[in-house]
């Protein structure tokens, strides 16, 4: 025989209370705000794998440099850029803030970079 579940008694499982005076925002608004507060660039799965294979260390300093680069490229209207220094290079899709691939110095010497409309020295 199946027992019926009784309704919750008053106060047994109350919803979380909000801080007095705090504006209530939807989950989507909060998520969007957090994304905007965080860095504006991310690595694709392919780029993460390439960085690992090529010994390119992805740390907070690099992420900040790439985020700044994407912001500057957006201001100029670029869509796909090459961001590079003497030890590494990144192809970045600016509108999506997505690193597409990474290259080591050896690979940079052998490549022709196509489908980019801007270059930024890190």
* Tens digits of residue pLDDT in 31-86: 555 655 555 899 999 999 999 999 999 999 999 999 999 999 999 999 999 999 99
Task: Return d(Cα 106, Cα 55) in angstroms, integer.
Answer: 12
pLDDT score recorded for residue 111: 79
Backbone angles phi, psi at 53, to 5 degrees: -60, -35
Of 31-45, 80-94, 97-111, the range with the lowest mean pLDDT is: 31-45
**Which residue intervals of the chain are DSSP H helices?**
27-37, 45-53, 60-76, 105-110
User: 């999506």: which residue's tokens?
Assistant: 96
Residue 10 has pLDDT above 50, yes or no: no
Enumerate helices (H) and strands (E) in the chain, giving the number of each. Answer: 4, 5
């Amino acid at each position: 025989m199946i027992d019926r579940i009784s309704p919750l008694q008053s106060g047994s499982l109350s919803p979380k209370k909000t801080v007095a005076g705090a504006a209530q925002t939807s989950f989507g608004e909060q998520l969007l705000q957090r994304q905007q507060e965080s860095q504006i660039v991310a690595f694709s799965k392919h780029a993460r794998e390439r960085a690992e294979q090529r010994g390119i260390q992805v740390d907070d300093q690099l992420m900040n440099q790439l985020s700044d680069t994407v912001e500057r490229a957006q201001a100029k209207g670029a869509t796909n850029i090459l961001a590079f220094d003497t030890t590494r290079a990144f192809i970045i899709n600016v509108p999506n803030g997505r690193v597409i691939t990474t290259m080591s110095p050896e690979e940079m010497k052998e490549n022709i970079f196509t489908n980019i409309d801007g270059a930024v020295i890190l």
